[in-house]
């Protein structure tokens, strides 16, 4: 069976140039910390990829810290041990719709506060103002550029202005946005950005925390040992994965402008199909700016667990939301924070497009949806 893959927010298929680069690296030996020729060759590959990842977000190569993925990068970033030139945050603020890697992985303990979002999933900036006014000292704010479940684009630049005026720092989770829409230090203004390789068509197992300013420092890194990555992240670098990461970034940068428009057009086709088949369907976050590739929706009377199995049997891969819940279909904290009723949230499905997506994929999705609704005896509009 020919499969239709519409789950790029979970992971994007490996791009050809990334696979080729990784195979080349795996044929060679060399620890990038060694001084012999093999080690220097490995180091050159790491540093070349560092420059490419920095270019993705308009940063500097020396400020890119390679990690095992975005989860580790967020765990490293969300700590009170970070210090700026004039800032030592004592409390953490997070939007209620942040990824679980931020909500569960931060190192602030009880010194963390969740900020509400509106019905479209946008951060309540008035609540941010109130939280900043309550704090006697600087804070660290964590805010996604694009939500992984709904694709909603947060007002990061506006939030950054408020936090910086109060003397704080901002970590922006750019995992879903980087390489899919304009998301750079210049556009969002954050102090740290988190990106992931496998969301861009690179290999799983590589990510990066990127600092805006080299003056930022962490007195207690998450992983300590040999001092690699300028002491921010100990352990021998995963050269093959990092090289594949760099190759995928190259591809994403080269096609960014065209790809953003292409994916937005495909998403519009997909959403039009959903609403034509089921006019009572709800598109989550549709009243806010969204990532061009993401559509989260629910059709009353269609449970997500039933739908996912039926789509899978029809050869279409979708998700019910985040892919970080041990394969379980469960209540979305994102939709709960948006005030979505339980019965509708239980039917939430997510189609996320990417570099492999085509009009044929949208057509296959549309046909599968019609057949699934007919099978459960639900009348459709077409």
Catalytic site residues?
324
- Residue 266: Cβ within 10 Å count: 22
The alpha-carbon radius of gyration of the chain (Å, integer) is 21
Q: Which helix (H) or strand (E) holds 114?
A: strand 112-115
**How many Å apart are CA 9 and CA 241, to the nearest integer?**
19
**Which residue, among 317, 340, 320, 339, has the nearest Cα to 330 in the 3D structure?**
320
Q: How far apart are CA 96 and CA 332, in angstroms?
A: 11
Q: Is the CA virtual torsion 311, 360, 348, 157 positive or negative? A: positive
Q: Is there a contact between 78 and 140 (Cβ–Cβ < 8 Å)?
A: yes
| Nearest-10 Cα torsion for 199, 204, 209, 212 | -40
Cα–Cα distance measured from residue 273 to residue 365, given in angstroms and rounded to the nearest whole number? 9
How many CB atoms sit inside 10 A of residue 327's CB?
6
> CA-CA distance, 59 to 62, in Å (whole number)?
9
The residues facing 218 across adjacent strands are: 82
Distance CA(67)–CA(218), nearest Å, equals 15
Which string of DSSP letters, residue by residue, matches 186-201? HHH--SEEEEESTTTT
What is the secondary structure of 200-223 as a DSSP string?
TTS-SS-EEEEES-TT-EESS-SS
DSSP letter at 230 equals G
Distance CA 120, CA 136 (A): 31
| Cα(255)–Cα(267) distance, integer angstroms | 18
């Amino acid at each position: 069976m020919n499969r239709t893959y519409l789950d790029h927010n979970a992971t994007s298929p490996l791009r050809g140039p990334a696979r080729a680069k990784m195979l080349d690296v795996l044929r060679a030996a060399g620890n990038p910390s060694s001084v012999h020729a093999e080690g220097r060759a490995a180091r050159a590959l790491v540093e070349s990829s560092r420059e490419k990842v920095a270019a993705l977000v308009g940063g500097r190569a020396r400020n890119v810290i390679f990690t095992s993925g975005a989860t580790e990068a967020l765990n490293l970033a969300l700590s009170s041990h970070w210090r700026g030139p004039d800032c030592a945050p004592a409390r953490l603020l997070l939007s209620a719709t942040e990824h679980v890697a931020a909500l569960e992985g931060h190192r602030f303990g009880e010194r963390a506060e969740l900020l509400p979002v509106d019905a479209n999933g946008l951060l309540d900036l008035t609540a941010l103002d109130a939280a900043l006014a309550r704090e006697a000292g600087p804070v660290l704010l964590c805010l996604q550029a694009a939500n992984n479940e709904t694709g909603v684009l947060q007002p990061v630049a506006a939030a950054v202005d408020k936090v910086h005026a109060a003397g704080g720092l901002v970590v922006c989770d750019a995992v879903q946005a980087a390489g899919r829409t304009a998301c750079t230090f210049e556009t969002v203004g954050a102090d740290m950005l988190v990106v992931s390789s496998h969301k861009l068509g690179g290999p799983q197992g590589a990510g990066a925390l990127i600092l805006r300013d080299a003056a930022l420092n962490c007195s207690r890194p998450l992983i300590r040992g040999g001092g690699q990555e300028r002491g921010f992240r100990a352990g021998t670098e995963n050269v093959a994965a990092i090289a594949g990461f760099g190759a995928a970034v190259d591809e994403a940068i080269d096609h960014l402008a065209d790809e953003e428009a292409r994916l937005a057009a495909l998403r519009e086709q997909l959403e039009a199909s959903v609403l034509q088949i089921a006019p009572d369907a709800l598109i989550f976050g549709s009243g806010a700016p969204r990532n061009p590739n993401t559509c989260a929706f629910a059709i009353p009377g269609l449970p997500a667990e039933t739908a996912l199995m039926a789509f899978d049997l029809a050869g279409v891969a979708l998700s019910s939301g985040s892919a970080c819940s041990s394969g379980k279909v469960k209540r979305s904290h994102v939709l709960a924070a948006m005030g979505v009723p339980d019965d509708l949230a239980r039917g939430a499905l997510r189609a996320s497009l990417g570099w492999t997506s085509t009009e044929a994929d949208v057509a296959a999705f549309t046909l599968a949806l019609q057949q699934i609704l007919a099978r459960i005896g639900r009348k459709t509009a077409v």
